[in-house]
């Protein structure tokens, strides 16, 4: 079976499976991965990952996506992040029609799927608004861990700026007004929920699938469900969805046989 890698701006996610029931999953800091786990071949024409150090068979097909997908050389198959996340979400949910929102470390993606096909998508890789970087900055400003911040959802204060840089001034203003930290934290999570609603507004009211690391934020998920009016679907290990999609992309015709629709 193939190996899928999502080489993101913040983290590298790796997925490998033999039966698509049990998975090996690995996650590395991107800088550490690029500096410690890549080697050059003898001709120095292609960068290869030291898969053997992870107990993965290097001879298996390898499919890449993400910011750094071209860093491993032209000989390795790459696919777009939209295709990778669509395949991963479709496999994990079984839905023929859905909207998928992926909020990563520094970018965001929205995919509208109808009739088992991607009909439309949006990407935002120019601004870190509402992404993991935004949450990290806000948690640091409040002297909280990201996990502590993620638990807040009750009585959110209105926060209008989801910019990873300029949003700080709005938070500082609330701190000076002695607004409770929990209320500010809930407001930060609610600002992301409101941003997601704005992103998906052009699309039909389909099941909403949330992927990426921000999908692990309980506060965002609860507030988003309240605003959307229905439960939010969170795939297992949502931050690995793109790497899983790469795994599926690498299947041969024979491998696909047992996964295809009846």
Could you read off the pLDDT of 21-57 as tens digits, one per residue? 888 899 999 888 888 777 655 554 445 566 677 777 7
Residues of the chain with CATH 3.30.420.40: 3-82+242-256, 99-232
Domain covering 99-232 in this structure, CATH number: 3.30.420.40
Q: Do residues 8 and 69 touch, judged by C-beta distance below 8 A?
A: no
C-alpha gyration radius of the chain: 19
Could you read off the pLDDT of 205-247 as tens digits, one per residue? 999 999 998 999 999 999 999 999 999 999 999 999 999 999 9
pLDDT mean across residues, the chain: 85
Compute φ and ψ for 162, nearest 5 degrees: -100, 20
Interatomic CA distance for residues 102 and 132, integer angstroms: 11
Q: What is the mean pLDDT of residues 239-258?
A: 74
Given a cut of 90, whether residue 166 has pLDDT beyond it is: no
CATH topology of domain 3-82+242-256: Nucleotidyltransferase; domain 5 (3.30.420)
pTM above 0.85, yes or no: yes
Q: Do residues 209 and 235 touch, judged by C-beta distance below 8 A?
A: yes
Residue 58's pLDDT is what? 65
Could you read off the pLDDT of 112-158 as tens digits, one per residue? 999 999 999 988 765 666 678 888 889 999 999 999 999 999 999 99
Compute φ and ψ for 190, nearest 5 degrees: -70, -30
Residue 46 is encoded by which pair of tokens?
């292609």
Name the strands in the sheet holding 117-124, side by side, starting at the edge strand that comes first in the sequence.
117-124, 108-114, 98-103, 208-211
């Amino acid at each position: 079976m193939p190996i899928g890698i999502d080489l993101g701006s913040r983290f590298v996610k790796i997925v490998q499976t033999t039966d698509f029931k049990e998975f090996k999953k690995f996650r590395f800091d991107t800088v550490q991965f690029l500096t410690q786990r890549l080697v050059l071949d003898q001709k120095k024409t292609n960068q290869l990952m030291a898969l053997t150090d992870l107990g993965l068979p290097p001879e298996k097909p390898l499919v890449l996506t993400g910011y750094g997908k071209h860093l491993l050389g032209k000989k390795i198959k790459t696919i777009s992040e939209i295709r990778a996340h669509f395949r991963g979400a479709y496999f994990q949910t079984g839905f023929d029609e859905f909207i998928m929102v992926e909020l990563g470390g520094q970018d965001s993606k929205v995919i509208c799927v109808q009739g088992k096909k991607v009909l439309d998508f949006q990407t935002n890789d120019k601004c870190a608004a509402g992404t993991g970087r935004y949450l990290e900055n806000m948690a640091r400003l409040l002297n909280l861990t990201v996990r502590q911040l993620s638990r807040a959802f009750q009585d959110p204060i209105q926060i209008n700026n989801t910019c990873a840089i300029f949003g700080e001034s709005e938070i500082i203003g609330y701190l000076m007004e002695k607004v409770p930290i929990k209320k500010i934290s809930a407001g930060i999570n609610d600002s992301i929920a409101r941003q997601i609603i704005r992103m998906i507004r052009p699309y039909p009211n389909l099941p909403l699938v949330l992927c990426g690391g921000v999908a692990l934020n309980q506060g965002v998920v609860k507030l988003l469900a309240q605003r959307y009016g229905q439960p939010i679907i969170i795939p297992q290990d949502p931050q690995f969805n793109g790497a899983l999609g790469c795994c599926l992309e690498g299947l041969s015709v024979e491998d696909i046989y047992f996964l295809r629709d009846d």
